[in-house]
């Protein structure tokens, strides 16, 4: 994990409304990834903050799709320009943790396009990430890993994405359907999930061998490109990155009005600290 404090501060950085700052953060993390031998940075996240129960909200930027897309694109440009591949996630409509492997995000086309996909489209078109990570849940009845309309029709054909699609960890639903949909890499690595089924499907002709070849080519292209980038010299100034992390925190700070003189808290005032993190 990169050593500066920017990686977990997406909510804070969104408060700054500065794509250029995110590009600098991306460049810093890209340098650190290169210096530490990391070929692929798993970020940034571009889902909308629509549900307070979404356990991945710390990785997302905003309720505003334009802001989220612009900031994600800035981060991606910065990291990719330093030779580190990025993974735009979690594609798409990933809004809750409850039953996240089986839940179904049901929404009409206009809502999908104008709200939930807008940030991803901006990030793909303006950032050009090396990879996109598909999400756990279903989208209108079809798991994202199996969703040809999402991964091929929209992402590749409409938006022009030409990189690799990787699953979130454990998000592959049906590997045969995944190959057909345009899902290239099943994570975590080393999984033998449905390998025999895939071989049988190729032999029977129900799964075109070209679909497997295409996925393998995309994976190998990323591996070979990352290997070449690792050969290039990389200068990493951690001190400067710590300064940048502090600047990001400062510029993302949001001032609140002290209405009705709530602060400072009066003596013997009781407050509630809510959530599992309160225990630790």
3-state SS string for the chain: CCCCCCCCCHHHHHCCCCHHHHHHHHHHHHHHHHHCCCCEECCCECCCCCCCCCCCHHHCCCCCHHHHHHHHHHHHHHHHHCCCEEEEEEECCCCCCCCCCCCEECCCHHHHHHHHCHHHHHHHHHHCCCEEEECCCEECCEEHHHCHHHHHHHHHHHCCCCCEEEECCCCCCCHHHHHHHCCCECCCCCCCCCHHHHHHHHHHCCCCHHHHHHHHHHHHHHHHHHHHHHHCCCCCCHHHHHHHHHHHHHHCCCCCCCHHHCCCCCCCCCCCCCCHHHHC
In the set 104, 168, 184, 237, the catalytic residue is: 168
Residue 213 is among the residues annotated as catalytic for this protein = no
- Specify whether the CB–CB gap between 60 and 71 falls below 8 A: no
> Is it true that the peptide bond before 44 is cis, omega within 30 degrees of 0?
yes
Residues designated as active site: 168
């Amino acid at each position: 994990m990169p050593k500066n404090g920017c990686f977990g501060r997406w909510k804070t950085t969104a408060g700054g409304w500065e794509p250029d700052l995110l590009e600098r953060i991306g460049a810093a993390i890209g340098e650190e990834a290169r210096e530490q031998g990391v070929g692929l940075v798993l970020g940034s996240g571009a889902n909308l903050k629509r549900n307070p129960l979404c356990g991945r909200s710390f990785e997302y930027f905003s309720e505003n799709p334009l802001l989220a897309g612009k900031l994600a694109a800035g981060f991606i440009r910065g990291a990719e320009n330093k030779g580190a591949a990025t993974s735009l996630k979690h594609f798409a409509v990933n809004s809750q943790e409850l039953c996240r492997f089986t839940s179904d995000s049901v929404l009409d086309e206009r809502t999908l396009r104008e709200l939930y996909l807008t940030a991803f489209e901006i990030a793909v078109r303006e950032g050009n990430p090396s990879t996109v990570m598909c999400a756990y849940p279903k989208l209108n009845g079809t798991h994202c890993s199996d969703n040809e309309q999402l991964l091929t029709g929209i992402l590749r054909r409409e938006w022009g994405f030409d990189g690799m699609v990787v699953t979130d960890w454990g998000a592959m639903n049906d590997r045969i359907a995944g190959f057909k949909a345009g899902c290239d890499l099943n994570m975590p690595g080393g999984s033998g999930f449905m390998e025999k089924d895939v071989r049988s499907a190729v032999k029977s002709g129900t799964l075109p061998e070209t679909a497997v070849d295409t996925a393998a080519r995309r994976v190998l292209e990323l591996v070979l490109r990352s290997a070449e980038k690792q050969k290039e010299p990389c200068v990493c100034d951690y001190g400067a990155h710590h300064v940048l992390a502090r600047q990001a925190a400062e510029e993302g700070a949001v001032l609140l009005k002290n209405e009705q003189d709530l602060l400072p808290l009066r003596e013997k005032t009781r407050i509630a600290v809510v959530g599992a993190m309160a225990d630790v």
